[in-house]
Structure 1
């Protein structure tokens, strides 16, 4: 994975929505909301990944869609609200930013798709399974 080049100026709403769309648009509204919960949980319990939605979403190597060599990066930077999934992601971002996002991941601060097994998840039991994503609580106390 390659560190991403500089990004255009974006609001927190746009960064969150583009992260949700880039990471989980194929999982529908429920899957995107679950990824938003991970962002929310990280913001509420800041650690090394940051303490704001923007820093959490853009922390290097945390959300692969932002990496320069990820094919989703160019797509997420180009998507507009003409895309129904992006409109849903914007609504979910609004819920997160207003404090109305319902927690559906049992406090997860990490996740991955079912098709991969990153080293950090080895031997750990998911706290939630939503669509094709497995959610874990690793850092939260």
Structure 2
């Protein structure tokens, strides 16, 4: 039986996806309970899986990128405009995304969660959620919808049809 080692490109994409996801988690939810951080990681993975599956999801969640692997799909989703507000330079917590505080315990937690999520070792408590918002704000699209999960001040929703 022959075993082939993962290519350096695949390993680089995996590491890049983990670090980008960890930074998003840290800036968006690092001060929240672990369950909320895990749920946000699951949402990012759900969007990446959806982007791999359909053109509609690629347009909606990955900025029309056409990734071929899960790590590349995660990167496309995390880089797409309007998906995660902390990526915008004017966002109040953008600095935590751009330059995370090394040695911060919350960053270490977010890195562990990102790694677990990308290895498929994180159960999806959101039950396939593709949409989310902070409970302090109620966007119009959420009116009349039932969240699949509320955790740590975040609400998660499924999106039927994708």
Q: TM-score, normalised by structure 1?
A: 0.86
Rate the CA distance shift 1:14–1:139 in 2: closer, same or farther, 3 A: farther
Task: Report Cα offsets for 1:54-90 as digits up to 9, x if no partner.
Answer: 1111211110010111021112221144010010110
Q: Which runs of 5+ in 2 are unaligned?
A: 1-14, 52-56, 68-72
Residue 138 of structure 2 corresponds to which residue in structure 1?
117
**Helix, strand or coil: the match of 2:32?**
helix
Q: Which runs of 5+ in 1 are unaligned?
A: 1-9
What number of residue pairs does the alignment pair up? 132
Q: TM-score, normalised by structure 2?
A: 0.76
What RMSD over aligned residues (CA atoms) do the two structures have, in Å? Answer: 1.6
Residue 16 of structure 1 corresponds to which residue in structure 2?
21
**Bigger Rg, structure 1 or 2:** 2
- Are the equivalent residues in 2 in contact too, given 1:109–1:140 (CA < 8 A)? no
Deviates more, 1:72-81 or 1:123-132: 72-81
Distance 2:92 2:38 in 1: 22
Task: Report Cα offsets for 1:33-62 as digits up to 9, x if no partner.
Answer: 010010011111111212511111121111
Distance 1:55 1:28 in 2: 26
